[in-house]
Structure 1
Amino acid sequence: MDKQEFINRLSEIKQRFQKEVDELGKQYAREHNPYKVGDIISDHIGAMQIERVQVVLGAYVSVSFNEPYCRYYGIQLKKDGTPLKRQDPTRAIFPQNIKSK
């Protein structure tokens, strides 16, 4: 084995390793996700109906929140539960900001 072959094989191993780490993180986040599409959650800004759940991987996201987690996207709601009539009423809520379901 020459130097280039070593570098190529090492790169392949690192890619496989990272892929497995990412899959493990996605599995962890999904298993610890208490909310699903259609749920209504609220934070310090207001209420939102979840339309999409996205898994966020990695310790690079925040020092205080360094495990994989789910971020929630959806339509912001008024106090009476109807959608806002803004041009783009969508927003995101991070799990550490959720006050109630």
Structure 2
Amino acid sequence: MESKDECCCSTRTKKRSPEEFKILSNRLNRIEGQIRGIKKMLENNAYCPDILIQVSAVNAALNSFNRVLLAEHINSCVVNDIKDGKTETVGELVEILQKLMK
């Protein structure tokens, strides 16, 4: 978890630890590979249901990425802001959750 000085979400930036960056970056690299695979399937005239299954896998991978990123945000930025009396962060979190649940 980030220290209070490293989390700057309220200024719309955040210094991530090398470990957090690596985890998130690796997930995005895998998702990018899946997207390229779907494009290749389309180019190769793959059967529609086969493509749809792969798109579903990408959606699941993106949801997993969101869960990891959201947990990190809550455990660092939100917690630190609340400790600092910046309760508006809770409202921002509620908005984010509403958008993610559409």
Whether these two folds match at TM > 0.5 is: no
Select the structure of larger CA radius of gyration: 1
Q: Which has the higher contact order (CA 8 A, sep 6+)?
A: 2
If the TM-score is normalised by the length of the shorter chain, which range does it land in? 0.3 to 0.5
Higher helix share: 2
Higher strand share: 1
- TM-score (normalizing by structure 1): 0.38
- TM-score (normalizing by structure 2): 0.37
